[in-house]
Copies of this chain bind each other. A is one copy, B any other.
Amino acid sequence: MNSAVIDFINTNRDRYLEELTQYIAIPSVSALPEHAGDMRRCAEWTAEQLKTIGLQNVRVIETPGHPVVYGDWLNAPGAPTVLFYGHYDVQPVDPLDQWISPPFEATVRDNELFARGATDDKGQLFIHVKALEAHLSQTGTLPINARVIFEGEEEIGSPNLDQFIREHKDELSCDVVVISDSAMFDKGVPSICYGLRGLSYFQIDLRGTSTDLHSGSFGGAVANPAFVLAQVLSQMKDRGGHVKIPGFYDDVRELTEPEREEFKRLPFNQKQYRKGLGAPKLHGETGYSTLERTWARPTFEVNGVLGGFTGEGAKTVIPATAMAKVSMRLVPNQDPDKIAALFEEYVKKVTPKSVELKVTRMHGGKPWMTEIDNAFVKAAVRAIEQGFNRSPVYTREGGSIPVVATFQSELNAPTVLFGVGLPDENAHAPNEKLDLDNFYNGIIASAYLYNEIGAIRK
């Protein structure tokens, strides 16, 4: 590594903060139509940055929704090509009155930068923009070939991204994808996330009768869909938190002993975790720890339920209908489509004929896992050691990042999740923030990462 690159990063911290503050000041809320102009402005600001730091072929590419910003630098023959993915859109800011400082005026308090988008994802994508800039400005070159795509619809579920990737396969061809849009395990505990859960989400609708009925006149004569719904849902998991859908666990990749040992070593305080959630007691699948349950075991959850009279007071009604939103988090190697079929079959089986059943598939996403002895993962480990002066721990994550599966299937590229956020940074809540140590160390680690990846010969 050319030491000028690191020196440059260390002497430009104030400018980085100023630029990020400008970036954050554009209220790029993708979910709200009144911010359409801001979305456009933010895409253009992003493109301007990519040009300024020396990327080539920079374009704002239209989609049916908000545009994607693209740039590349492909002048390192023989070196791997890295695709950097991030998003310039942010979550809405409601409830506004809970913000200590205005959400779009980045404000530093106690070495944390408070603003909407600080950690999710403007601050995190910016570490790569600035690391690329440091290399290009100090050496005139990069140790890798780089492609950048920053999208504007991540916070609304990336409705146009898969299509975009399929349509731009050649332009996006790469050896590895790097994403900084996640959290490390804890402050001072940098981590490599090597697994994500998938998802299979459904709506169940039951109908008992054509209209709501008086529970006095008709109570006892017909099936009550709200009660039947309870019967159906209660049969999805046993008391030990084990999902009862036949075949559900068939393709589950069991945790290995080394993985379980690694998880056990993590500084995880169960009591503090429980208290932080305000739960009277933790509860999950028998035989697994909390981290194992959330990272590496599939689950069944009821996301919502509605039926009958739910206002103040009492109304003696037998509801005509009842509805539940339910979802399963999936782990490698479960397949969302296969699970969906098993689920639908089981729901049909356990629902009595006294009600009409409708099951609607809402959406699904594949689980994902990378091998931790993968060369790119090892490169990331060494980069983190250099940026954070500490070896990263290996973690998994309970949520889904659907695009990771798309990159795998469409581009045949593995992903390195190079997240420098923290779990308590309020990504979707008021007072979102970014730890500034992690921000600066992240830029340094990224700069090292490119050297580490560049040293991998194809």
* Partner-binding segment picked from A56-64, A103-111, A223-231: A223-231
* Cα distance, A284 to B221, chains bound together (Å): 5
Secondary structure call for the A interface = mixed
In chain A, positions 294-330 with a C-beta closer than 8 Å to chain B are 294, 297, 299-310, 313-319, 322-325, 327, 329
What is the oligomeric copy number?
Answer: 2
Contact of A354 among B234, B236, B283, B300 (CB under 8 A): B283
Q: Separation in Å of the A401 CB from the closest CB of chain B?
A: 9
* Partner-binding segment picked from A35-43, A138-146, A203-211: A203-211
A282 close to chain B: CB less than 8 A: yes
A309 touches B325 (CB 8 A): yes
* Cα distance, A280 to B315, chains bound together (Å): 24
Q: What is the number of residues of chain A that contact chain B, defined by CB distance less than 8 Å?
A: 83
A188 close to chain B: CB less than 8 A: no
Task: Point out the residues of chain B lying under 8 angstroms from A237, CB to CB.
Answer: 227
* Cα distance, A236 to B303, chains bound together (Å): 23
Contact of A308 among B222, B304, B317 (CB under 8 A): B304
Most buried by B among A222, A294, A307, A352: A222
Task: Point out the residues of chain B lying under 8 angstroms from A322, CB to CB.
Answer: 305
Most buried by B among A217, A355, A397: A217
* Cα distance, A379 to B281, chains bound together (Å): 64
Q: Separation in Å of the A358 CB from the closest CB of chain B?
A: 13
Contact of A199 among B220, B234, B316 (CB under 8 A): B316
A81 close to chain B: CB less than 8 A: no
* Cα distance, A458 to B55, chains bound together (Å): 107
Task: Point out the residues of chain B lying under 8 angstroms from A229, CB to CB.
Answer: 230, 305
B327 touches A201 (CB 8 A): no
Closest residue of chain B to A212 (Cβ to Cβ) is: B303
A residues at B contact (CB < 8 Å): 197, 199, 201, 203, 208-211, 213-224, 226-227, 229-237, 239, 241, 273, 277-285, 290, 293-294, 297, 299-310, 313-319, 322-325, 327, 329, 352-356, 362-363, 397-400
Listed by A's residue number, 13 A-B pairs whose Cβ atoms lie within 8 Å are: A217-B294, A219-B299, A220-B284, A220-B294, A221-B283, A222-B282, A226-B302, A226-B324, A227-B236, A279-B354, A301-B318, A302-B307, A304-B319
